[in-house]
Amino acid sequence: MKKSKQFWPFILLAVLVYVVIQVLISTEMMNQFYSNTLILIAINIILAVSLHLVIGITGQFSIGHAGFLAVGAYVSAIITMKLQLPFAVAIIVGGVVAALAGLIVGIPSLRLKGDYLAIATLGFAEIIRIVFLNIDAVGGAAGMQVSHLTTWTYAFVCLVITLVVIVNFTNSRHGLAAISVRENEIASDAMGINTTYYKVIAFAIGSFFAGVAGALFSHNFYIIQPSQFGFLKSFDILIFVVLGGLGSLSGAVLSAILLTIVSTYLQGYPETRMIIYSLVLIIVMLYRPKGLMGTMEITDYFKLWRTPKGGGQHEK
């Protein structure tokens, strides 16, 4: 019940943000560079939030997210370029196929824990990449040409749907079950929670949205190549989640925005780009070892502001 109070203000805010930016774009007060950065931010937020569901909520340390991004990217590209179907269909099918890939990868590998799971998911992501590398129909290493179809509207609608689905999942008995798996899998099992089921479901939902992000991604860059989906891409997504604070959705969103802006800005300085980017990461981790937001959400801060000083129950 409480959550529905937050829901409508959120939708209102989302519509407002959308309208303002859409007006700016259509009146050409905002140039191509900025609107492209905004689309990139939206894609990165979708990626960050979908991995947050797997790592932050369910506690399964998966570092192969770029694999599902690749599945979404290639499948959607095939649908628009080879089958000439509309982009909206491509987004949905890209997500569904990525979710299926998530199921196939997740069912065997989610029996593993911690480091072993990380290695297994990393391996699966590389397998997916190499499969695309060796399929000539999608261009192999040279890549595949994709027409530019991603607009601010598509990106933003997908972003809002992603956020709503993941927030609603988290704030339900299912989300609580997933969190209990993160907190203590043995106890969760002993409380009657089907832990395997929730791990696989979270993984599949995460993969679905990674696939959606992949569809937006491939139709934003004119060309996709397997080298764009290597393990470095997986680590980029992982960094969003860790830097934002494990278990904090708003943290993942914030750090995705922050890091996208930093890395876009640094493109003007290619020699020092990675050095400065790494320094930003080190500085944040030194001063905020639990990530930007820790385990807090933005809404928690609102609650703290409302309670009189020293009277809040969460004061620690």
Partner 1 sequence: MKNKPLLEVKNTGIQFGGLKAVQNLNMVLNQGELVGLIGPNGAGKTTSFNLLTGVYVPTEGDILFNGERINGLPPFKVTRKGVSRTFQNIRLFNELSVLDNVKVAYHSIAKHSIISSILRLPSHFSGEKEMEEKSIEFLKIFSLDKYKDELAKNLPYGQQRRLEIARALAANPKLLLLDEPAAGMNPQETKDLMDLIAFIRNKFDLTILLIEHDMNLVMGVCERIYVLDHGQLLAEGSPEVIRNHPKVIEAYLGEEVHDVNA
Q: 236-254 in b/e burial notation, b at 16+ Cβ within 10 A?
A: bbbbbbbbbbbbbbbbbbb
Our CB check for partner 1 shows the closer of 35 and 188 to be 188
Rounded to whole angstroms, how far apart are CA atoms 96 and 282?
Answer: 36
Among 50, 195, 207, 255, binds partner 1 (CB under 8 A): 195
When asked if residue 137 is in the footprint of partner 1 (CB under 8 A), the reply is no
* One of 148, 287, 313, 315 touching partner 1 (CB under 8 A): 313
Told to check if 1 binds partner 1 by CB under 8 A, we report yes
Q: 173, 289, 308, 311: which one contacts partner 1 (CB under 8 A)?
A: 173
Q: Two tokens at 33?
A: 């560079």
> What is the nearest approach in angstroms of partner 1 to the Cβ of residue 1?
6
With binding defined as CB under 8 A, does residue 186 bind partner 1? yes
Size of the site for partner 1 (CB under 8 A): 33
The whole-angstrom separation of Cα 153 and Cα 156 is: 5
Instruction: Name which position in 130, 141, 187, 283 contacts partner 1 (CB under 8 A).
Output: 187
Judge whether 160 and 14 are in contact, CB under 8 Å: yes
User: Interface with partner 1 by CB under 8 A: which range of 73-81, 177-185, 220-228, 236-244?
Assistant: 177-185
Which residue in the set 69, 70, 144, 201 belongs to the binding site for partner 1 (CB under 8 A)?
Answer: 201
The string over 113-146, giving b where at least 16 C-beta atoms fall within 10 Å of a residue's C-beta and e elsewhere, is eeeebbebbbebbbebbeebbeeeebbeeebbeb
Binding residue (CB under 8 A) for partner 1 from 10, 18, 169, 235: 169
301 binds partner 1 (CB under 8 A): no
Query: Binding to partner 1 by residue 270, rule CB under 8 A?
Result: no
Instruction: Note whether 194 binds partner 1 by CB under 8 A.
Output: yes
The yes or no reply on residue 180 touching partner 1 (CB under 8 A) is: yes
**What is the per-residue burial (b if ≥16 Cβ within 10 Å, else e) of 206-232?**
bbbbbbbbbbbbbbbbeebbbebbebe
Q: Which stretch binds partner 1 (CB under 8 A): 138-146, 149-157, 171-179, 207-215?
A: 171-179
Residue 226 or 247: which CB sits closer to partner 1? 247
Of 63, 46, 58, 43, residue with least CA distance to 239? 63
Residue numbers of the site for partner 1 (CB under 8 A)?
A: 1, 4, 7, 164-165, 168-169, 172-177, 179-180, 183-184, 186-195, 201, 247, 295, 313-314, 316
